[in-house]
């Protein structure tokens, strides 16, 4: 690649124009072939890459050429070096793995880390929040466990935010989460970052605004993430409409913004979100409280393996049907026909679409609390993955996800969701791919309509 330049330009500008930009197909750091740009930020561009001789994908983050000039060069190089050092010193299942680092082209710092083909927590929350308390606690427990490891290594993460948390599905089919250090999500949201305090403005602790940072700052950020998961609103919006955050005012009571949460959950959130860092819980203490809340308020079977251990990877167990799936609906049949019961109008306390799958003069059986918890925990990620599979024409995955949604809905007797998932299956099998995509809004509406009633049924069980 060549560049034209003028003899009148400064030496710095000449050098800047002679530094070639990384490009697709280029091999860097001895064995990673750049494939496509994933995101660009203030300091670097993130590329998806393929490691030569293996099937492993990776993310290669390469500094912008214009930043390696003059006074910026040492700053950028130090940033990459410290990122690699910090990530290398901490090993935890919920922290992104860094493979190597070095320089490409004419001394452009670069770092290679694992590639996770999932969604950020922010992407999920924008569409699915609020999440059930059990799902929030399982995610928060794994993240708190990761922060314990980070803090024990003498490191402060400084940027715990929904954009830096990746949700992805393991080979075993379970949903897991990982906390990124300075990964792709950070680069994609570069416009939200400043050159002063380090971190995402809506999630940094009050003391970070003044350049101060301790392990307690990470706990505050995790609490802010949990606030969005539980209330459906970002903490910043709540503080803006109330007294704001300062060292003298206590944090708001989350139970006022998410009715139905136990007071113990409110106490935990308050202890994590104190504006004064000296009054906040540590990551270790936060993890202990989260585990106790899960043990006391989770309706999962007692013999179920804990989801919060450091070596565990699942976030929400997959629901299992209480009976075999019903035959798929014919596309020409109305949704209320066949063996499915119509929406209830008897005032029995259930929402339309929640009830038995067959007509009966007796009241429909109530689903088990454990089945409701499992279904609500898995459904948000299923919907996100189904949307991606339908739009990207990953037909086998789309069929599998729709079948899981249908079976999960049957296990909690939510007929409306089960019917719509079966219609998507029939449309995909008939090759009506665009029609299948149009069913997504109806499926999401059915989930939202059933959410509150299922939560009520679970708490009353």
**Is residue 225 located within the same domain as residue 351?**
no
187, pLDDT greater than 90: no
Domain boundary among 263, 297, 331: 297
For the chain, percent of residues with pLDDT exceeding 90 = 27
**Is residue 104 located within the same domain as residue 156?**
no
**Is residue 282 located within the same domain as residue 354?**
no
**Is residue 203 located within the same domain as residue 326?**
no
**Is residue 251 located within the same domain as residue 149?**
yes
Number of domains in the chain: 3
Give the number of other CB atoms < 10 A from CB of residue 431.
Answer: 10
153: its two tokens: 């290594």
Q: What is the CA radius of gyration of the chain?
A: 25
**Is residue 243 located within the same domain as residue 359?**
no
pLDDT digits (tens, 9 = 90+) for 190-225: 333 334 455 677 898 888 888 788 999 999 999 999
**Is residue 67 located within the same domain as residue 159?**
no
165, pLDDT greater than 70: yes
What pLDDT score was predicted for residue 26?
92
The verdict on residue 13 lying in a domain is no
Phi, psi (5° rounding) for residue 38? -95, -30
The verdict on residue 170 lying in a domain is yes
pTM comes to: 0.63
Nearest Cα neighbor of 221 from 198, 196, 204, 197 is 204
Angle at 122 between CA 120 and CA 125, to 5 degrees: 115
The verdict on residue 179 lying in a domain is yes
CATH of the domain at 190: 1.10.510.10
276: its two tokens: 């004064």
CATH of the domain at 78: 3.30.200.20
The whole-angstrom separation of Cα 401 and Cα 387 is 10
Instruction: Tell the residue number behind the tokens 């999932």, with chain if given.
Output: 118
331, pLDDT greater than 60: no
Contact indicator for 273, 235 with CB cutoff of 8 Å: yes
- With 0-12 CB in 10 A as exposed, 13-18 as middle and 19+ as buried, what is 395? middle
Nearest Cα neighbor of 18 from 109, 108, 120 is 108
More confident of the two residues 295 and 238: 295
Mean pLDDT, the chain, integer: 75
Range of the domain at 408: 318-461
Span 99-112, mean pLDDT?
A: 86
Residue 377 neighbours by CB under 8 Å, 6+ apart: 131, 132, 134, 135, 138, 315, 316, 317
CATH of the domain at 461: 1.20.120
- Among 16-25, 191-200, 347-356, top mean pLDDT goes to 16-25
The verdict on residue 10 lying in a domain is no
**Is residue 426 located within the same domain as residue 448?**
yes
367, pLDDT greater than 90: no
Phi, psi (5° rounding) for residue 371? -65, -40
**Is residue 42 located within the same domain as residue 100?**
yes
């Amino acid at each position: 690649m060549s560049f034209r330049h003028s003899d009148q330009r400064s030496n710095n500008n000449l050098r800047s124009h002679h530094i070639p930009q990384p490009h697709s197909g280029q091999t860097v750091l001895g064995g990673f072939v750049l494939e496509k740009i994933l995101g660009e930020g203030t300091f670097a561009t993130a590329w998806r890459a393929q490691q030569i001789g293996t099937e492993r994908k990776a993310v290669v983050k390469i500094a912008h050429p214009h930043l390696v000039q003059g006074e910026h060069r040492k700053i950028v190089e130090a940033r990459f070096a410290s990122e690699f050092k910090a990530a290398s010193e901490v090993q935890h299942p919920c922290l992104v793995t860094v493979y190597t680092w070095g320089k490409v082209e004419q001394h452009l710092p670069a770092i290679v880390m694992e590639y996770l083909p999932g969604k950020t927590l922010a992407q999920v929350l924008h569409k699915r929040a609020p999440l059930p308390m059990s799902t929030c606690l399982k995610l928060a427990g794994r993240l708190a466990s990761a922060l314990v490891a980070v803090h024990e290594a003498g490191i402060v993460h400084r940027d715990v935010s929904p954009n830096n948390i990746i949700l992805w599905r393991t080979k075993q089919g379970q949903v897991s989460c990982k906390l990124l250090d300075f990964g792709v999500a950070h680069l994609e949201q570069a416009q939200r970052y400043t050159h002063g305090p380090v971190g995402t403005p809506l999630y940094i602790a009050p003391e970070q605004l003044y350049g101060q940072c301790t392990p307690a700052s990470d706990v505050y950020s995790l609490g802010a993430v949990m606030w969005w998961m539980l209330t459906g609103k970002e903490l910043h919006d709540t503080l803006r409409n109330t007294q704001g955050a300062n060292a003298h005012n206590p944090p708001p009571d989350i139970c006022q913004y998410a009715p139905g949460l136990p007071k113990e959950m409110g106490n935990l959130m308050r202890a994590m979100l104190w504006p004064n860092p000296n009054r906040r819980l540590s990551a270790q203490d936060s993890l202990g409280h989260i585990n106790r809340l899960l043990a006391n308020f989770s309706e999962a079977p007692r013999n179920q393996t804990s989801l919060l251990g450091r070596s565990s990877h699942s976030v929400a167990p997959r629901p299992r049907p209480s009976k075999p799936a019903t035959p798929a609906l014919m596309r020409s049949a109305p949704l209320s026909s066949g063996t499915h019961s119509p929406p209830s109008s008897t005032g029995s306390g259930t929402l339309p679409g929640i009830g038995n799958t067959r007509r009966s003069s007796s009241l429909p059986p109530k689903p088990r609390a454990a089945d409701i918890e499992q279904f609500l925990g898995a459904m948000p990620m299923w919907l996100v993955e189904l949307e991606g599979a339908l739009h990207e024409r990953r037909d086998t995955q789309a069929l599998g996800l729709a079948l899981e949604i249908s079976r999960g809905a049957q296990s909690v007797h939510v007929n409306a969701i089960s019917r719509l998932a079966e219609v998507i299956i029939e449309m995909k099998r008939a090759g009506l791919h665009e029609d299948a995509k149009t069913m997504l809004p109806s499926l999401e509406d059915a989930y939202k309509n059933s959410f509150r009633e299922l939560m009520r049924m679970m708490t009353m069980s």
